[in-house]
Structures are given as C-alpha cells and as structure tokens.
Structure 1
Amino acid sequence: MVTISDVAKRAGVSRSTVSYVFSGRRAISPEVRARVADAARELGYTANAGARALRTSQTRVIGLLAQFLDDEFAPAMLQYIQGVTDTARKLGYDVLLVTDPDGPAALRRVTDSRMVDGVVLLNVAEDDPRIPLLRNAEQPGALVGLPRDGAGVDVFDLDFPEAGRLMVEQMVEAGHEEMLLISQPHDVVERGGAYVWRLRDGCMQRAEQLGVRVHHSFAPSRAPEIGECLHDLLDEHPGVTGLLLNNEAAATALPGVLHQRGLSAPDDLSVIGRYSEEFARVFSLPFSSVESAPDFLGRLAVQHLVHRIEGQRPHDSAYIARLVAPVFRDRGSVGPAKRI
C-alpha cells in the first residue's frame, strides 16, 4: 500500500509537508502543492478526505456551477471548465461539477451542506440570481463573467468592449469600410449574456469613431441552421468585405460556407473571430482571432479562490474585478478590402 512517506520521497519533500498539503493545516506554496499532488496521482495515493474534513472543516473540493445551454456552443464552454479543473488539480483540489438548471438551489445545496470549500460560477448573467446567495455564503466565490454587481466575490472576464474595438481596428487598418458582426443567438442576450452586447457596443462605437459601417446580426449556435444563416447574411449584405465573428459555431461553419460559395479568406472576405488559440487548433480554423482566454480566466478564478480558502487573502479583503486585455492572433485571414 502506498504511504504518505512514499509520496514525500517521490515529491522530494518532507513527510510533514505532504501531510500539510493534504490536511490544509498550513499554507504551502502552489509549486510544492503541485509537486505533491502529481506525486500522489502517479503513485495512486488518496488521502482520507472524510477524516481530513472532520479535522480541518475543509473538503479540498471546489464547486463549479456550469451549464451546457442549447443556445451556446458546448465545446467553447468545455474550455472554461478545463481551465478550472486543471488548475484546481495542480493546487491539490478536486472539482465538483454541478449542472443543475436551478442554479440558486444548486448553490444553496453545495454551500449549506459544506460539500465544498469555495465556488466558481460560469454562465454568469448580468443580473445573476446566484450571486447574492454566493455573496452571503460562508465559502468564498469567484466568477468567470462580469455581472452588473460583482460586490463580495472576485470577478474575471475578457474585456469584451475592447475586443470589439480591436476587431474593427484590425479591419480598418486593412482598408475595410463595411463589415458584418455575427453574434450569439438572441436567446443569450435575453437571459442576460452581457458579453454579447458589450462586444457589439465596442464594435459599433469604434466603427462610428472611424467612419466605417458595421452591420449586426444574431445567428444560431447549431448546425445546419448556422450554415444556412451565414448564406442568408452574405446574400443580404453583398457589400460587406469583412466578417467579425462573436459566435464560435459560426466560425466552425464558415470554412464550409465559403467553399460552397467559391470564396476564400482573405482574397474575397477578411475574417476575424473571437475564440481561443486552442479552439482554433481543435477545429482547424484558418481565421485570425481575438483570444478569448478561457483557460487563463479559469486559472485566475481558481488561483484567487484558493488564496481565499487558505487564508492567503482574507475572506473579507478587497475583492478583485479583473478584465483581461484582448490579444489579436494573426492567422493571415485579414487582407486588403476587395473593391467591387
């Protein structure tokens, strides 16, 4: 049977350090905690979670409340979940994924029962009913997504207005004067998905400042509807020379649509999406993009949450609201505007 001494030897630390990592009785650096967690996993060692919880009132579990919604592209959501779970594992925590559609009830269940030491919320709406409950819970919380009122929790999100401005600026630098922004389905907006209109507003404001035109349309998040919608939109706006995509399903469908129409990027249309480097790799997307940074946002949320859980940041210390600056990833899909 694998013992705590075996884990200590593999990790290159003392037996007491391993004990502190698993008991939570002393703050251990993230680097050492990760080494111990890796060694335990490699050796198949599992600490007695029940005994630990009785001793320390800690479970070493983070609650992750997320949903796979019909009107959003599931693979994009998975990237946020992976960022959370990978970081939690490296810091010595397990993750309890809760997908109950009744978010407030699920949050009460995991916090009142003390099943978790802290909570991360995904699918954050502008006026999210889970946030007041999390604010009043004994456990600390972190959000990936910017609500109207984020007081009492740490908040991390992409700077979506700046992302919209950046997309327009890249097109204008290449000489484009008429563009089409394709957003998530309108259902996302109706339930409070503020990132949709924040990016749209950033696009529209910058376009007005630069004296160019941006059309805007909502589009489905599923096939074959998204492909049909893209064809319709291109027919409706024949003067458009640049496409701005705030819809991951549209980005994955666009290569096929362009091929069917005998078009290519950037020769016929320039294209900029909003998605991650990993998303582009998985779906072999050839389009330039603004990095959505889901793994980075998940990592930030967990790191700051663990700091609060372990007392490195007191529960009532100043809360963080961090917007990550967008980064442009050039994959060669933006070229000079084609003049008709």
Structure 2
Amino acid sequence: MVTIGDVASAAGVSRSTASYALSGKRTISPEVRLKVLQAVESLGYTPNAGARALATSQTRVLALLGRFLSDEFAPAMLQYILGVSNRARELGYDTLLVSEDDGAAALKRISDSRMVDGFVLLNVAERDTRLPVLRAAPQPGALVGLPGEPDGLDVFDLDFDATGSFMIDTLHGLGHREIVLVSQPEHVVERGGAYVWRLADGARRRADELGVSLHTYFGSSSQPAIGADLHRILDTHPTATGLLLNNEAAAAALPSVLAARGMTAPDDLSVIGRYSDDFARTFSLPFSAVDSAADELGRRAVEQLVQRIENRADDAPAHLELIAPVLHDRGSIAAPRP
C-alpha cells in the first residue's frame, strides 16, 4: 500500500511537507504542491480516511438522507440521488446513503458519531421531523425540497407554484380552455409532500385568472392502478383538450393508455408533464415536460454544503433557491382541434 512517505520520496520533499501540501494546513509553494500532486497521481495514493479525520476533523463523507417510499415512483428519486452523489464525488467527497424510516433518529445518531461532515436531506416534508435535529447538529446541512419553515437552512427546490402557473399559461396560450391535472396520491400530501399542492395551487390560481376550466385529480403511483385512473379521468372529461401530469407514474403509463384509446398527443390531447430529462429518456416518453431539475438540485445542494464545510461558513446567511420552470418541448402540445 502506498503511504505518504512514498509520496514524499517521489516528490523529493519531507513527509511533513507532503502532508501539508495535501491538507492545506500550511502554506506550500505552488511548485512543491505540484510535485506532491504529481506523485500522488503517479503512485495512486489514497489518504487513510481514519488518519485524515483525526488530523483534520473532516471525514470527506456526506450523509444523504432519503427514503424510497412505496407511494412515490422510485426511479424519480434515483435522479436526485445521482445528482448528489456524482457532484460529491467530483468535489472529493464520498456519500453515505441513509434510508431509515426514522430519519430524525438516524440524523442524530450519525451527527453524534461525527462520521460525516454534513447532510443532504431529500423527501423534505412540510413539517419535517429531521429539521430540529439538523438545526441543533454541529455539522451543516442542505435540503432538496422546500419545508414550511425554511428559516436558517440552505434550501433548493423547483418553484412548484410557478410551475403550475406556467403549465396553465402554456396551454392557454395555445387555445386550450378545459384542462385536467393529475397529481401524486393524496396521502403524499397528507404526509407533507407540499410540492403536490404547491403546483396544484399555482395551476388553480392561474386557471381562475384566465377563465380556464381545470379538473384536478390525485393519481396512483404504480401500475396497473394509475392506468385505470387515467382511463377513468379521460372518460369523465371527454371534452378536455389538455392534460398536466405532476405524477411520474402517470407519465410512464400514459403512452399505453393513449394507444388503447386510439388517441395521440397532441392531435387529440396536449400533454405537459413534470419530470427530469433523464427520466424522459429512460422511459422513452414523448411528452413535453417541465424539467424537475433533479440532478441540478442535488448538485447545487452539494456545492453549497461543501462551501460551508470547507470555508467554515456556519454564520453565513441561509440560501434559499427556487429554480424557475423550464419546458422541454417534445412535440406533445399544440392548439386544440376545432
């Protein structure tokens, strides 16, 4: 196994100089630092995590707290996890995925053990029980998802209220006057999934302003139930010309539902979903969609968290960022037929 002594010998410097060049704890000339880094690269040196933690009080590990919930579409959650883990790796951090049901207890246990440098929270609820624990923890954290009380926390999310309004504006501008919105299951809202009602509220408010008839429904999160839901909803509103989907399972099921009904988008129904571009590619979805920005949100949360960790910026103002909706037009929206 390659040691720091091997790196020092290859770089022609002392062991302590090589260590300082890597840790940054003392000023080292750019020339010497370059020699050390070149030796690290050529020898394939990896610092011992335990020794590094003792020397620097850092583990270079981030805890990612998220759950795969049975009533939400698991592949959609993976997009957020990949965004966090990929950006963490690029910045030199490993990721510890924690998926326990009792997230508050898990966060406290991991925080007390000092086994990570910071936390990224997914599945953030309106009144999330993890937040009081995070606020009391010595390590910083970042949230992907907007809670009801974000004060003092770094938060990143899609602007779901603006997304709902944007979806209505887009179809209204094309001439649609009767639209259906299918959201996640109702118990997602009851559990604290505020993104569901934020998008629906934004859509409802804008529809009322524009005089658009909007029918809202909660849909199932898995097949075959969501397919049956879509058939029932379309049967109930045969004159609707637009369909909005804030439900990834519904988007994945819709191609087969439309085919079974002899319908196509946008000829018979204009469709706008809300999911990531990667999700659309994975399931070959032909529908225009507002990008949920899962990867981007995860990356931004990690960047903010690492900045706090490395700059010791505990007293810096909290950062709240809501990403504006961006439509990926895949040709599923058009003016309704006369």
TM-score by length of 1: 0.89
1:106 paired residue number: 106
Which residue in the other structure is 2:126 paired with?
126
Distance of aligned partners of 1:247 and 1:26 in 2 relative to their CA distance in 1, 3 Å threshold:
farther
Three-state SS of the structure 2 residue aligned to 1:318 is coil
Deviation at 1:316, TM superposition (A): 1.6
CA–CA separation in structure 1 for the residues paired with 2:331 and 2:42: 42
Whether 1:325 and 2:324 are equivalent positions in the alignment is: yes
Write out per-residue CA displacement over residues 205-240 of structure 1, whole angstroms, 9 at most, x where no aligned residue. Answer: 111111111100000110111111111111111111
Which consecutive unaligned segments of at least 5 residues does structure 1 have?
A: 9-14, 28-35
Q: What is the root-mean-square deviation in Å for CA atoms of aligned residues?
A: 2.5
Deviation per CA, 1:239-293: give whole Å up to 9, x if none: 1110000000000000000001000000000000001111111111100011110
Shift of 1:52: 0.5
Q: CA 1:275–1:4 in structure 2 vs 1: closer, same or farther (change >3 Å)?
A: farther
Q: Normalized against structure 2, the TM-score is what?
A: 0.90
Counterpart amino acid of residue 121 in structure 1: L
CA pair 46-218 structure 1, distance change in 2 beyond 3 A: same
Q: Which residue of 2 aligns with 1:247?
A: 247
Q: Who is 2:48 aligned against?
A: 48
Q: What is the aligned-residue identity percentage?
A: 64
Q: Note if 1:316 corresponds to 2:279.
A: no
Counterpart of 2:174 in structure 1 is 174
- Partner of 1:214, secondary structure, is strand
SS at match of 2:70: coil
C-alpha displacement of 1:338: 2.4
CA gap 1:282/1:132 in 2 versus in 1, 3 angstroms: same
- Counterpart of 1:47 in structure 2: which amino acid? P
What do the CA deviations read for 1:110-152 (whole angstroms, capped 9, x no partner)?
1011010000000000110100110110000100000011122
How do 1:1-340 and structure 2 match up within 5 A?
Answer: 1-2=1-2, 23=23, 25=25, 45-311=45-311, 314-339=313-338
Instruction: Measure the CA separation in 2 of the matches of 1:330 and 1:176.
Output: 17
Give how far 1:40 is off: 7.4
Matched residue type, 2:317? A
Summarize the Cα distance change of 1:178–1:138 in structure 2 as closer, same or farther, 3 Å threshold.
same
Q: Secondary structure at the match of 1:310?
A: helix
| Structure 1 SS opposite 2:105 | helix
Q: 1:161·1:202 contact (CA, 8 Å) conserved in 2?
A: yes
- Report the residue type matching 2:50 in the other structure: G
Mapped partners of 1:292, 1:150: distance in 2:
20
Does the C-alpha gap of structure 1 residues 233 and 310 become closer, same or farther in structure 2, counting only changes over 3 Å? same
The separation in 2 between residues aligned to 1:17 and 1:231, in whole angstroms, is 69
Compared CA separation, residues 6 and 164, structure 1 to 2 (3 A): farther
Q: Which amino acid aligns with 2:258?
A: L
Read off the aligned partner of 2:90 and give its amino acid letter: K
Output the amino acid matched with 1:286: P
Separation in 2 of the partners of 1:84 and 1:230? 33
| C-alpha spacing 1:212/1:265, structure 2 compared with 1 (3 Å) | same
Q: CA deviation at 1:328?
A: 1.0
Partner Cα separation in structure 2 for residue 244 and residue 17 of structure 1:
60
The amino acid that maps onto 1:98 is: V
Equivalent residue pairs, number: 323
